[in-house]
Structure 1
Amino acid sequence: MYQYDQYDQQLVEERVAQFRDQVRRRVAGELTEEEFLPLRLQNGLYYQRHAYMLRVAVPYGMLASKQLRMLAHIARTYDRGYGHFTTRQNIQFNWMDLERVPDALADLASVQMHAIQTSGNCVRNTTTDQFAGVAPDEYVDPRPLAEILRQWSTFHPEFAFLPRKFKIAFSAAETDRAVVQMHDIGIYAYRNDAGQLRLRIMAGGGLGRTPILGSIIKEDLPWEHMLTYVEAAIRVYNRYGRRDNKYKARIKILVKAIGPEKFAEETEAEWQHSKDGPGTITQAEFDRVAAFFQPPAYDKLPDTDAGFEKHLLEEKAFAQWVRRNVRGHKVPGYASVTLSTKPGISSPPGDATDKQMEQVADWADKYGFGELRVAHEQNLILPDVKKRDLYALWQEARAAGFATANIGLLTDIIACPGGDFCSLANAKSIPIALAIQQRFDDLDFVHDLGDLSLNISGCINACGHHHVGNIGVLGVDKDGEEWYQVTLGGAQGNDSAIGKVIGPSFKAEEMPDVVSRVIDVFVENRVDGETFIETFKRIGLAPFKERVYADKASKAEATA
């Protein structure tokens, strides 16, 4: 993985010193909260419902084991013993003491980490496929280009004060696991018929108040022009994006207003000023960065292992875990493992304790090459595990509460921190997630349902990506009370889709029953092992809506 040079390290350390002085001035009353606000946001520090929240950047979701141990140290020393992994592949700490934040940032800097540009109207953390570099279906390892994007966007002077926040996602596999269509700019790398690396550029995606899937603005961009073309697109947005209304300031609103064709035309015209200029990526520069992402020293192993196969046959729980949490690898004899942070009612989705983080770091060293990943679904990935070690890893992960065999299933719920922490939230997310997980605690039944995503957001900002969940739940405020709106039919990946609102919202205590009714309709109408989204596409919204509200009316009549 990428290692800081002296300039990277100096930059981060100087930012820590600068923020330390800004905090001192705020505590001393030399800065008002209004003056301090943009300064703290530049360092990923929010003030939420109860305390400050620090969001730490995890570039393209990639961590070294020593970095995860440092995150465990931050959780234990400066927070309340846990952290929350996000849908942007970052981590958040929800109980930070302002005066101690500079010390936490200094500790992070010691392992080449920071919180720069995890907030504010700037280019945020670039995200990518959690299986980048090891996925059998990828056309190219996207991490070198993602790192080049990170270096280019960090402290970019022209894009420090955009109309609104700006998010870029990068995918380079047959299956899009980075949800590129729902980002401000999505980059999809592929190889053309001649074997040349090309980039498909999408713009104008985003969720939130107005969910929109991105549109293709450039189909076959040579990779060398990635920076100059993306820069041209952001310049167009910076010039024409609205600044008078923050709810209409995202690039998706601009692209929708003028149309994708016009936006592409404007970008193309702007690009002519920088095309083939200094921002063009040379082969030498690509090779320099790519050298940090060379494959580790894999052993030459047979693709199968007798001990592994024996455990599969003899232990149902292990086989179940392998089926859902273990993925193929491009190197024979290896696999990638997803550690679920969704054990059910014992822990909120995405949370990990300091002890758990240290255990995962130990496994990364013991069973891999000291590396791990954060997934968009808020889980953790060990990318390089020998098949012969899977059973031993499973036993340790199960003892640590990290081996729930539910990846991609109903109880692998994505959820933001919601109203328990976030001052923007209209309603709580965590209790709803836990109630649904408790209702569906029969893992065999959940496995029988197959692939099915359920995403929960506590407000319209959609940090839980509810719009692209097969079942989406959005917290809304009704006269000071917490209610929940349900959408169905959302999807991410190659066939991304925005879910459709099923009807009027529900009270918190109704939500497990609502989800149960939706599942009942699915099970009754399912044909030949269809997934939920396949059944939904075939029968439409109406049967689900009819069942949910008919049952609700019957229940209300019975209790009247």
Structure 2
Amino acid sequence: MYAYDDIDRAIVHERVEEFRDQVSRRLSGELTEDEFKPLRLMNGVYLQLHAYMFRVAIPYGTLSSAQLRKLAHVARTYDRGYGHFTTRQNIQFNWIALKDLPDALADLAEVGIHAMQTSGNCTRNVTADQWAGVAPGEVEDPRVWAEILRQHTALHPEFSFLPRKFKFAITASDHDRAAIKIHDIGLKLVKNDAGETGFEVLVGGGLGRSPFIGRTIKSFVAGRDILSYIEAVLRVYNQYGRRDNIYKARIKILVHELGIEKFAAEVEQAWAEIADGPLTLDHEMIEDIRSRFIYPAYEKLPAEPDELRAAAGDARFEAWRNNSVAPHRHDGYAIVTLSLKPAGGPPGDATAEQMDAVADLADKYSFGEIRVGHEQNLVLPHVARRDLPALWAALDKLGLATPNVGLVSDIIACPGLDYCSLANARSIPIAQELSRRFASPETAALIGRLHINISGCINACGHHHVGHIGILGVEKNGEEFYQITIGGRADEGAELGELIGPAVPYGEVADVIEDIVEAYLSLRQRPDELFVDAVKRLGVEPFKERVYATR
């Protein structure tokens, strides 16, 4: 966990009082809604279909137990008793009254949480691998660098009014759990031949109306130079990015129109003006940030403790352990993913009671630390393997031990038309129906790893373009229809899915997905051939034929 200092706390508390005054003037009528809009957006407040939506930042997906309890308090006190974890490692509350928002922000500020720059045309919450710092084989903990980026970009005067929103993601592992290739800037920590730590820098990724996979603009930028290089990228975007057309304002469009070579040349020119200047990070500065991260005092523990051997005969525990428990960089410990995808439940939602309980479990079993992944699940990153049986029993009682992580019912979905004023169609009921149809552990095990992503509109908050199966809600003559894509992926081999054919009506979506899955099971070469690999080998035609043969 990062220990925030007095400057951080002062900024957060000052922003609360600023926003309290802005809300007061809006409620009194001194500010119109149009005048209030840019002010609320810079504090994570959207006007949705039924109420204001409040989006809270979870920088690089890391929470303390105290912070999670405070999120539970906000859900219970100001909302309807739950929160929704998003693909950007944020949490959203959908029913908070405008008059209560300053108090909610003040309560969150007590534990160092804020909502600054979770919306608006600015640099957004810096996201990272949810296993950062504990994953075997990492170059180093990428959260140190995410924190450096957070501090530099937060309230940056030049980058608070960009042509459009701007998103960073960072990883330090070969396997990309942070989806860096679908972000405006993706950063991968690497070592050069001299053993120096630096970054591969990717730009121009993003989904939405015009999806693109990010491309490498520079294969190595030394750690000391990363701020000046990022600044150069943002300056080029701020100067040349489109402001006349909201649909062409993202950096991905600029990179596409200029071409990667021309864009890289512009960045190099901008960087030449500021490299080796005040933005250069010296060793002491980097180590100061690194020293503020507090790591657990790990014990020397056996890899196969007696408690684990004793529980091995419980089939339900073993199914969960094989699915939701991953290796840790320290012997005797494990990384545990908590599924927020129960059969029939809204993906990514957690009740206040569940959040409080997870905070208690984090204190007992994970050194008080919780992570949020972009797949909309939670993670306990420091669990002793001896404690796995007891943790599983507690999670099972909470409904958080569904052994479906990475499987067909571990569905990513945006709130859709149930909440969002931009949406064309519902996402949540589709996800709920699919999770019920594929609830059988035996069926899920037979299918293997398969990611379904659902978005209620072209803005792609559910990342449908990079789902192994992607579902996009569209509107046709006042009715909900859904386009289906297959073959997408968000990891280090990121690809955009391919449309299989005409959109299908709401009532047929679950049947279509079942048809696609059945086609895969009959067409795969061997039981361990993943769905996404079968699609790459076969193309979309065999799946298209199965889906539309009787429609």
TM-score between the two structures when normalised by the length of structure 1: 0.97
Q: Quick one: distance in 2 between partners of 1:470 and 1:374?
A: 21
Instruction: Give the equivalent residue in structure 1 for 2:223.
Output: 223
CA-CA distance at 1:306 after TM superposition: 2.5
Instruction: Give the equivalent residue in structure 2 for 1:301.
Output: 301
> SS at the partner of 1:202?
strand
CA-CA distance at 1:295 after TM superposition: 2.8
Residue 335 of structure 1 pairs with residue 342 of structure 2: no
Q: Quick one: distance in 2 between partners of 1:543 and 1:50?
A: 42
Question: 1:137–1:175: 8 Å Cα contact kept in structure 2?
Answer: no
Q: Quick one: distance in 1 between partners of 2:276 and 2:3?
A: 28
The match for 1:432 among 424, 430, 447 is 430
Instruction: Give the equivalent residue in structure 1 for 2:370.
Output: 372
> SS at the partner of 2:423?
coil
Question: 2:3–2:293: 8 Å Cα contact kept in structure 1?
Answer: no
Instruction: Give the equivalent residue in structure 2 for 1:14.
Output: 14
Q: Which amino acid letter does the alignment assign opposite residue 231 of structure 2?
A: E
> SS at the partner of 2:274?
coil
Q: Quick one: distance in 2 between partners of 1:482 and 1:248?
A: 26
Q: Quick one: distance in 1 between partners of 2:8 and 2:426?
A: 39
1:191-234, CA deviations, whole angstroms, 9 ceiling, x for partnerless residues? Answer: 12332212100110000000100111111111111110001001
Q: Quick one: distance in 1 between partners of 2:6 and 2:407?
A: 44
1:57-82, CA deviations, whole angstroms, 9 ceiling, x for partnerless residues? Answer: 00000000000000000000000000
Residue 290 of structure 1 pairs with residue 290 of structure 2: yes
Instruction: Give the equivalent residue in structure 2 for 1:489.
Output: 487
Q: Quick one: distance in 1 between partners of 2:295 and 2:230?
A: 28
Question: 2:343–2:409: 8 Å Cα contact kept in structure 1?
Answer: yes
Q: Which runs of 5+ in 2 are unaligned?
A: none
Q: Quick one: distance in 1 between partners of 2:303 and 2:294?
A: 22
Q: Which amino acid letter does the alignment assign opposite residue 252 of structure 1?
A: K
Q: Which amino acid letter does the alignment assign opposite residue 430 of structure 1?
A: I
Alignment of 1:117-516 (within 5 A): 117-312=117-312, 314-345=313-344, 347-516=345-514
Instruction: Give the equivalent residue in structure 2 for 1:69.
Output: 69
CA-CA distance at 1:123 after TM superposition: 0.2
Residue 91 of structure 1 pairs with residue 91 of structure 2: yes
Question: 2:44–2:115: 8 Å Cα contact kept in structure 1?
Answer: yes
Question: 2:3–2:294: 8 Å Cα contact kept in structure 1?
Answer: no
CA-CA distance at 1:336 after TM superposition: 0.6
Residue 2 of structure 1 pairs with residue 35 of structure 2: no
Q: Which amino acid letter does the alignment assign opposite residue 160 of structure 1?
A: S
User: How many residues get paired?
Assistant: 550
Q: Quick one: distance in 2 between partners of 1:229 and 1:112?
A: 29
CA-CA distance at 1:140 after TM superposition: 1.1
Q: Quick one: distance in 2 between partners of 1:520 and 1:6?
A: 57
Q: Which amino acid letter does the alignment assign opposite residue 102 of structure 1?
A: P
Q: Which amino acid letter does the alignment assign opposite residue 296 of structure 1?
A: P
The match for 1:517 among 501, 508, 515 is 515
CA-CA distance at 1:48 after TM superposition: 0.1
CA-CA distance at 1:403 after TM superposition: 0.3
Residue 25 of structure 1 pairs with residue 17 of structure 2: no
Q: Which amino acid letter does the alignment assign opposite residue 395 of structure 2?
A: A
Question: 2:515–2:547: 8 Å Cα contact kept in structure 1?
Answer: yes
> SS at the partner of 2:550?
helix
> SS at the partner of 1:327?
strand
Question: 1:305–1:387: 8 Å Cα contact kept in structure 2?
Answer: yes
RMSD value, Cα: 0.8
CA-CA distance at 1:505 after TM superposition: 0.5
Q: Which amino acid letter does the alignment assign opposite residue 377 of structure 1?
A: E
> SS at the partner of 1:165?
coil
Q: Quick one: distance in 2 between partners of 1:478 and 1:223?
A: 50
TM-score between the two structures when normalised by the length of structure 2: 0.99
> SS at the partner of 1:130?
coil
Q: Quick one: distance in 2 between partners of 1:42 and 1:479?
A: 35
1:108-137, CA deviations, whole angstroms, 9 ceiling, x for partnerless residues? Answer: 000000000000000000000000000002
Q: Which amino acid letter does the alignment assign opposite residue 94 of structure 1?
A: N
Question: 1:224–1:281: 8 Å Cα contact kept in structure 2?
Answer: yes
1:380-424, CA deviations, whole angstroms, 9 ceiling, x for partnerless residues? Answer: 000000001001000010000000000000000000000000000
**Structure 1 residues 316-325 or 229-238, which shifts more?**
316-325
CA-CA distance at 1:307 after TM superposition: 2.2
Question: 1:139–1:174: 8 Å Cα contact kept in structure 2?
Answer: no
1:343-397, CA deviations, whole angstroms, 9 ceiling, x for partnerless residues? Answer: 011x200000000000000010000110010000000000000001001000010
The match for 2:524 among 523, 526, 536 is 526
Instruction: Give the equivalent residue in structure 2 for 1:78.
Output: 78
Q: Which amino acid letter does the alignment assign opposite residue 519 of structure 2?
A: V
Q: Quick one: distance in 2 between partners of 1:105 and 1:198?
A: 36
CA-CA distance at 1:534 after TM superposition: 1.1
1:408-449, CA deviations, whole angstroms, 9 ceiling, x for partnerless residues? Answer: 000000000000000000000000001111111211111121
> SS at the partner of 2:112?
coil
1:448-506, CA deviations, whole angstroms, 9 ceiling, x for partnerless residues? Answer: 21110000000000000000000000000111111111000000111100000111101
Question: 1:140–1:190: 8 Å Cα contact kept in structure 2?
Answer: no
1:119-177, CA deviations, whole angstroms, 9 ceiling, x for partnerless residues? Answer: 00000000000000000021111011100000000000000100000000001111111
1:235-256, CA deviations, whole angstroms, 9 ceiling, x for partnerless residues? Answer: 0000000000000000000000
CA-CA distance at 1:551 after TM superposition: 2.7
Q: Quick one: distance in 1 between partners of 2:281 and 2:478?
A: 53
> SS at the partner of 2:173?
coil
Instruction: Give the equivalent residue in structure 2 for 1:39.
Output: 39
Q: Quick one: distance in 2 between partners of 1:307 and 1:63?
A: 28
CA-CA distance at 1:293 after TM superposition: 2.3
> SS at the partner of 1:398?
helix
Instruction: Give the equivalent residue in structure 2 for 1:549.
Output: 548
Q: Quick one: distance in 2 between partners of 1:551 and 1:332?
A: 54
Q: Which amino acid letter does the alignment assign opposite residue 249 of structure 1?
A: A
Question: 1:200–1:218: 8 Å Cα contact kept in structure 2?
Answer: yes
Instruction: Give the equivalent residue in structure 2 for 1:60.
Output: 60
**Structure 1 residues 446-455 or 77-86, which shifts more?**
446-455
Q: Quick one: distance in 2 between partners of 1:35 and 1:242?
A: 23
CA-CA distance at 1:294 after TM superposition: 4.5
Q: Quick one: distance in 1 between partners of 2:255 and 2:282?
A: 30
Identity percentage of aligned residues: 56
Q: Quick one: distance in 2 between partners of 1:208 and 1:383?
A: 32
1:81-124, CA deviations, whole angstroms, 9 ceiling, x for partnerless residues? Answer: 00000000000000010001000000000000000000000000
Question: 2:199–2:220: 8 Å Cα contact kept in structure 1?
Answer: yes
Question: 1:344–1:434: 8 Å Cα contact kept in structure 2?
Answer: yes
Question: 1:207–1:467: 8 Å Cα contact kept in structure 2?
Answer: yes
Instruction: Give the equivalent residue in structure 1 for 2:535.
Output: 536
Question: 2:2–2:294: 8 Å Cα contact kept in structure 1?
Answer: no
